Amino acid sequence: MRFSGLKVLTEGLTGNKGWGPHWRSPEPKSEYDIVLIGGGGHGLATAHYLAKVHGLTNVAVLEKGYLGGGNVGRNTTIVRANYMLPGNSEFYSHSLKLWEGLEEDLNYNVMHSQRGIINLVHSDGQRDAFVRRANSMCGQGDDGAILDRAGVEKLLPFLDFDQTRFPIYGGLYHRRGGTARHDAVAWGFARSASDRGVDLIQQCEVTGIDVVNGVVKGVQTTKGPIRAKKVGMIAAGRSSQVAAMAGLRLPIESHVLQAFVTEGLKPCLDHVVTFGMGHFYISQSDKGGLVFGGDLDMYASYAARGNLPLVEHVAEAAMTLMPVIGKAKMLRSWGGVMDMSPDGSFIIDKTEIEGLFVNTGWCYGGFKATPASGHTFAHLLATGNPHPTTVRHRLDRFRTGRGLMDEEATGSQHNLH
Amino acid sequence: MRLHCPICGERDRREFYYQGAAVMLERPGPDAGAAAWDDYLHLRDNTAGDLDELWSHDAGCGAWLRVTRNVSTHEIKTVVLAREIKR
Asked if B20 lies within 8 A of A251 by C-beta distance, the reply is no
The domain over range A113-179+253-340 is classified in CATH as 3.40.50.1820 = no
Which are the contacts of A269, defined by CB distance < 8 A and separation ≥ 6? A156, A282, A283, A284, A290
ipTM of the complex: 0.94
Number of domains in chain B: 1
Distance CA A257, CA A364 (A): 7
Task: Name the minimum distance, in Å, from the CA of B15 to any CA of chain A.
Answer: 11
Parallel/antiparallel/unpaired status of strands A280-284 and A145-148 = unpaired
Taking only the tens place, the pLDDT of each residue in A115-152 is: 999 999 999 999 999 999 999 999 999 999 999 999 99
Closest approach of B12 to chain A, Cα-based (Å): 10
- pLDDT tens-digit readout, A178-220: 999 999 999 999 999 999 999 999 999 999 999 999 999 999 9
The pLDDT tens digits for B24-36 are 899 999 999 999 9
Q: What is the pTM of this model?
A: 0.96
Sequence ranges of chain A with CATH classification 3.50.50.60? 5-75+183-250+343-416
A chain contacts of residue B42, beta-carbon cutoff 8 Å = 251, 342, 398-399, 412, 414
> Does A1 have pLDDT greater than 80?
no
Count the neighbouring beta carbons within 10 Å of the beta carbon of residue A106. Answer: 23
Question: Is B39 part of a structural domain of the chain?
Answer: no
- Contact assignment for B18 to A298 by CB distance below 8 Å: yes
Which residues, including other chains, have CB under 8 Å from residue A319's CB and lie 6 or more apart? Answer: A325, A326
Residue B83 CB neighbour total at 10 angstroms: 11
Topology classification of domain A5-75+183-250+343-416: FAD/NAD(P)-binding domain (3.50.50)
Q: Is residue B78 in a domain?
A: yes
Best interface-test mutation with A: which of B46, B47, B71, B73 has the largest number of A CBs within 10 A?
B46
Give residue A154's pLDDT: 97
Backbone angles phi, psi at B4, to 5 degrees: -95, 100
CA distance A349 to A329: 44
Which whole number is the average pLDDT over A355-362? Answer: 98
B14 contacts A250? CB cut-off 8 A:
no
Could you say which residues from 47 to 86 on chain B have a Cβ atom under 8 Å away from some Cβ of chain A?
Answer: 47-48, 51, 53, 71-74
In this complex, which of B19, B38, B72 lies closest to A398 when CB atoms are compared? B38
Chain B CB contacts of A236 under 8 Å are none
Residue extent(s) of CATH 3.30.9.10 domains in chain A: 113-179+253-340
pLDDT over threshold 80, residue A406 = yes
Q: Given an 8 Å threshold on Cβ–Cβ distance, is B44 in contact with A253?
A: yes
The 10 Å Cβ neighbour count of residue A1 is 12
Residue B42 lies in a domain: no
Residue B57 resides in a domain: yes
User: What's residue A413's pLDDT?
Assistant: 86
Task: Collect all residues of chain B within an 8 Å Cβ-Cβ radius of residue A258.
Answer: none
Is residue B40, in this structure, part of any structural domain at all? no
The residue range of the domain holding B58 is 2-22+48-85
Say if B10 falls within a structural domain: yes
Is B44 near chain A, with CB under 8 Å?
yes
Chain B partners of A251 at a C-beta cutoff of 8 Å?
A: 42-44
What is the nearest CA distance from A77 to chain B, expressed in angstroms? 25
CATH number at residue B8: 3.30.2270.10
Q: What percent of chain A has pLDDT over 70?
A: 100
Instruction: Find the closest chain B residue to A240 by CA distance.
Output: B46
Q: Is residue B87 predicted with pLDDT exceeding 80?
A: no
